[in-house]
Amino acid sequence: MIPFLALVRKDLKLFFNDRKSVIVGLVVPIVLASFFGYLFGGQRGNAETSKVPVLIIDQDGRDISRGLITQLAGDKTLDVKPSELAAAREAVRKGKATAAIIIPKDFGNNAGRALFSGANKPNLELLYDPSHHIELEMVKGILNGAVMQSVSKEMFTGISGRQTVNEALAQVENNRDLPVEDRKALRDLLGSVQRLNERQSEREAQGAAGSRLTGGLNLPYDTHEEAITSGENVAYNGYAHAFAGMGVQFILFMGLDVGITLLMLRQTGLWQRLRAAPLSRSMLLGSRTVSASLTAGFILFVLFSFARIVFGVRILGSFTGFVGVCAAFSLMTAAFGLMVAALGETVEATRGYSIMATLVMVMLGGSWVPTFIFPKWLQKLTVVVPTRWAMDGLDAMTWRGLGFSAAVGPIAVLLLFTLLFGVLAVMRFRWRTDG
Amino acid sequence: MLEVNGLTKSYGKLMAVSGVSFRVDHGETIGLLGPNGAGKTTTVSIIAGLMSPDSGEVLIEGKPVKNDTDPVKRNIGLVPQDMALYDQLTALDNLTFFAALYSISGAKAQQAIDDALKLVELSDRAGDKVGTFSGGMKRRLNLAAALLHDPQILLLDEPTVGVDPQSRNAIFENLEALKKRGKTLVYTTHYMEEAERLCDRIVIIDHGKVIADDTLQELHKLLPITNVIAIELDNANSFKPEQMLALPEVKSAELADGKLRVGVHDLSRGAPGILRWLSENGHTYHHVSSERPDLETVFLTLTGRSLRDA
């Protein structure tokens, strides 16, 4: 036991004596996780997201277009500014605006007519930045609602609406192709709208302040949004995922470093001295596994402690499950490092391909961005990546606030990967200092 | 104490060691001498258990090393050619760690560390990081690290590579002290003077084979000449050294930089005749000295090649 403990203690001493490693292992992930955490919602879960910049080119200049602009400007997710066509094009091209909406001349009149007849719909032209196609869909949705509200309002209560309703009534009367019952129904509908308009006109003539109707067609519902987190009134904390992600990434790099160091050690007198001592191979590799796991566990501990103190990240699920996921991932990382040392031929080549493998694992595991934004096929594919399980496990135990049962799967899979990497490492490790 | 029987080891098509055999007795110091690539390090690596031979065996106290954890390995202390120390740790931390590899801890370890540091004269630097040490100090600590478990056999693989003459001398004093304590030393080197100074017996290896195994005195007998008489002539310009080859004691004669070097097999019989011949033929001289041929010459004689060029 004395040699085993000495080997572990020595590795830990070497790690902590190397300030660069400690800085890279602790400070850098903290800085990056803080940044990513802020980007992905911070402590209050997307309370302050950037508004989508939208430019409006109003070529109509009448009540309906002005109403439409007012509607859009009132939306909390949009930052609406008036513009000219050429300037708007340039702004979208440069990425300064996500979209530009061109309201053409006579849009209001044509839209009003089309509201009742369905024919000759005017076009609203949308210029957009193709790199923001998701935001474009959002802008279109808001635009639809705003157009319906502003056009219907004008049709039911506005001056141009009265004229349009009169024209529509005349068309209905003159259309001999319409069945009698349909004509009657339309005449009743438009007649009601006409009477509403006339009363509105009379009130305006009498100068009744505040008597103008503010109606029109409205969205017939309101939404109530509730973020499903670990419990009621518990806000999503974007730092939880970010710290888990950066922790996973930098611990993997630490594991990689363990492998490369072992590979380099094999070419030194130190390795000869270790091999000349009466130590078993399992002790040499086992001690390295334990020391790397302890280092990984320490990194996770510091990261989450920092996140807890500074950003209020809490283990809202099972603490045992959290420790279990951390321990299983730490072991998996150590085994990964040993496998790198076992499979590597030269230090240079090994460093290259193992960095690539690590980055792929980090990327597909959801350490940078959550896996739910991946395409469905990729989400299915990433279950073969151990980091995915680590991230799912850590997310489940932190901000999702799930119980221990949600950690069992990730722990089991991570331990299976540990076994796989460990067996490969032991089978392929070149013990002899031949050459 | 240590028997090496018919070791063979090849790397692919390259035969690194081919049938190497030798024996080292208790308290004996042998030098494994040979040029770089001769097979010395491979031989030492096999003895230390770092690699297994293709054939042949190594017996320590009559027992082979059966596996990685065989207690027989405790009889061996290895001083690798490459520095085997952690620069980031202190000398004390290094030695504590290496002692622990042999399950030595506590007071016993402290005593062993104190003794080792005292031997290599680094007690006052125990608390300093090894990275701050000079090359010579590292070499001495490298030696100390191999002594902690008090091995009977020390395998020293070129332990003075890259150190200044002063440090080399210090290391030699350490080794001579160990020799006096009765340790068995196996010393690989390609420095003749080191082998001559330290070793009781020399095993010369070339191209993976033992080409000589004897005491220095006996190895000298393999040479056509065992001594050189160096004579500084007053007037060397007109002297023709080949004239001297007519004398029966003279095996070789050459003149360079005003110095006549005459090779003889027996100094006591050859020197008087040579000096007399010079006087009788009118050649005066102002200085006479004698030199013994070194191992370099032995190697040259045995292989036909200079050791350093091999």
Model pLDDT for residues A13-24, shown as the tens digit of each residue: 998 888 887 887
Tokens of A389: 């399980």
Question: Is B85 in CB contact (< 8 Å) with chain A?
Answer: yes
What was the pLDDT predicted at A326? 95
Residue A273 has pLDDT above 90, yes or no: yes
Would you place residue A434 in the very low, low, confident or very high pLDDT band (cuts 50, 70, 90)? very low
Q: How many cross-chain Cβ pairs, A to B, lie less than 8 Å apart?
A: 91
Task: Quickly tell me which residue has 């080549």 as its tokens.
Answer: A349
Note whether residue B307 is domain-resident: no
B162 interaction partners in chain A (CB closer than 8 Å): none
Please judge whether A433 and B145 are an interchain contact, meaning their C-beta atoms are less than 8 angstroms apart. no
What was the pLDDT predicted at A228? 65
Indicate if B121 and B7 belong to the same structural domain. Answer: yes
Nearest CA in chain A to B100: A3
Query: At B164, which CATH number?
Result: 3.40.50.300
Angle at A399 between CA A295 and CA A359, to 5 degrees: 50
Note whether residue B12 is domain-resident: yes
Residues 293-352 of chain A with CB under 8 A from chain B are none
Interface test with A, best of B17, B68, B97 (most A CBs within 10 A): B68
Residue A430 has pLDDT above 90, yes or no: no
As for the ipTM of the complex, it is 0.80
How far B188 CA lies from chain A's nearest CA (Å)? 15
Indicate if B131 and B263 belong to the same structural domain. Answer: no
Indicate if B215 and B234 belong to the same structural domain. Answer: no
Residues 103-142 of chain B with CB under 8 A from chain A are 103-105, 142
How do residues B41-60 score in pLDDT, each as one tens digit? 899 999 998 888 999 999 99
Share of chain A above pLDDT 90, in %: 36
Indicate if B142 and B250 belong to the same structural domain. Answer: no
Nearest Cβ partner for B102 among A9, A277, A432:
A277
Tokens of A378: 């990729």
Question: Is A273 in CB contact (< 8 Å) with chain B?
Answer: yes
Question: Is A277 in CB contact (< 8 Å) with chain B?
Answer: yes
Please judge whether A275 and B50 are an interchain contact, meaning their C-beta atoms are less than 8 angstroms apart. yes
Pairing of strands B259-264, B250-256: antiparallel
Domains of chain A and CATH, by start: 2-44+238-428 (no CATH), 52-205 (3.40.1710)
Question: Is A13 in CB contact (< 8 Å) with chain B?
Answer: yes
Note whether residue B301 is domain-resident: no
Indicate if B177 and B262 belong to the same structural domain. Answer: no
Indicate if B93 and B188 belong to the same structural domain. Answer: yes
User: Which has the higher per-residue pLDDT, A434 or A7?
Assistant: A7
Tokens of B81: 């050619």
Would you place residue A227 in the very low, low, confident or very high pLDDT band (cuts 50, 70, 90)? low
Cα A264 from Cα A351, distance rounded (Å): 11
What was the pLDDT predicted at A56? 94
Residue A435 has pLDDT above 50, yes or no: no
Question: Is A405 in CB contact (< 8 Å) with chain B?
Answer: no
Note whether residue B308 is domain-resident: no
| Phi, psi of B68, deg, nearest 5 | -60, -35
The average pLDDT across B145-152 equals 94
Please judge whether B50 and A432 are an interchain contact, meaning their C-beta atoms are less than 8 angstroms apart. yes
Cα B37 from Cα A435, distance rounded (Å): 11
Beta bridge partner(s), residue B203: B32, B213
How far B94 CA lies from chain A's nearest CA (Å)? 9
Residue A7 has pLDDT above 90, yes or no: yes
Q: Contacts for A343-352 with beta carbons within 8 Å, 24 or more apart?
A: A343/A424, A343/A428, A344/A259, A344/A260, A344/A263, A347/A260, A347/A263, A347/A264, A350/A259, A350/A260, A350/A263, A351/A260
Strand positions, DSSP E, A232-355: none
How do residues A29-58 score in pLDDT, each as one tens digit? 999 999 988 887 776 655 556 789 999 999
Out of A232-241, A246-255, A397-406, B158-167, which region has the weakest mean confidence (pLDDT)?
Answer: A232-241
- Reduced DSSP (H G I as helix, E B as strand, rest coil) percent helix, strand, coil of chain A, to 5: 70, 5, 25
User: Which has the higher per-residue pLDDT, A83 or A400?
Assistant: A83
pTM for the full predicted model: 0.71
Indicate if B14 and B128 belong to the same structural domain. Answer: yes
The count of structural domains within chain B is: 2
Please judge whether B100 and A5 are an interchain contact, meaning their C-beta atoms are less than 8 angstroms apart. yes
Which of A139-153, B69-83, B208-222 is most confident? B69-83
The average pLDDT across A158-181 equals 79
Angle at A193 between CA A188 and CA A198, to 5 degrees: 120
Among A395, A379, A401, residue whose Cα is nearest residue A242: A395
Mean pLDDT for all residues in chain A? 85
Question: Is B78 in CB contact (< 8 Å) with chain A?
Answer: yes
Residue A182 has pLDDT above 90, yes or no: no
Indicate if B26 and B161 belong to the same structural domain. Answer: yes
The average pLDDT across A236-242 equals 85
What was the pLDDT predicted at A218? 67
Out of A224-233, A422-431, B181-190, which region has the weakest mean confidence (pLDDT)?
Answer: A224-233
Cα A412 from Cα A400, distance rounded (Å): 19
Indicate if B81 and B126 belong to the same structural domain. Answer: yes
Note whether residue B300 is domain-resident: no
Please judge whether B101 and A17 are an interchain contact, meaning their C-beta atoms are less than 8 angstroms apart. no
Task: Quickly tell me which residue has 């660069």 as its tokens.
Answer: A20
B80 interaction partners in chain A (CB closer than 8 Å): 269, 272-273
Residue B186 has pLDDT above 50, yes or no: yes
What was the pLDDT predicted at A230? 63
Please judge whether B103 and A2 are an interchain contact, meaning their C-beta atoms are less than 8 angstroms apart. yes
What was the pLDDT predicted at B290? 87
Which of A60-64, A93-97, B111-115 is most confident? B111-115
A30, containing H or E segment:
helix A28-39
Mean pLDDT for all residues in chain B? 88
Indicate if B214 and B239 belong to the same structural domain. Answer: no
Note whether residue B52 is domain-resident: yes
The average pLDDT across B9-28 equals 91
Of B220, B252, B271, which residue sits at a domain end?
B220
Residue B24 has pLDDT above 90, yes or no: yes
User: Which has the higher per-residue pLDDT, A203 or B4?
Assistant: B4
Indicate if B28 and B123 belong to the same structural domain. Answer: yes
With a CB cutoff of 8 Å and minimum separation 6, the contacts of A352 are none
Among B214, B195, B209, residue whose Cα is nearest residue B31: B195
Cα A157 from Cα A59, distance rounded (Å): 23
| Phi, psi of A193, deg, nearest 5 | -65, -40
B101 interaction partners in chain A (CB closer than 8 Å): 3, 6-7, 274, 277, 279
Query: At B235, which CATH number?
Result: 3.30.70
A8 interaction partners in chain B (CB closer than 8 Å): none
Note whether residue B143 is domain-resident: yes
Indicate if B44 and B111 belong to the same structural domain. Answer: yes
Share of chain B above pLDDT 70, in %: 97
Cα B2 from Cα B11, distance rounded (Å): 25
Residue A210 has pLDDT above 70, yes or no: no
Note whether residue B99 is domain-resident: yes
Alpha helices in chain B (DSSP H): 40-47, 91-100, 106-119, 135-145, 165-180, 192-198, 216-220, 267-280, 295-303
Of B220, B244, B259, which residue sits at a domain end?
B220
- Domain extent for B88: 2-220
Please judge whether A279 and B68 are an interchain contact, meaning their C-beta atoms are less than 8 angstroms apart. yes
Of B164, B196, B220, which residue sits at a domain end?
B220
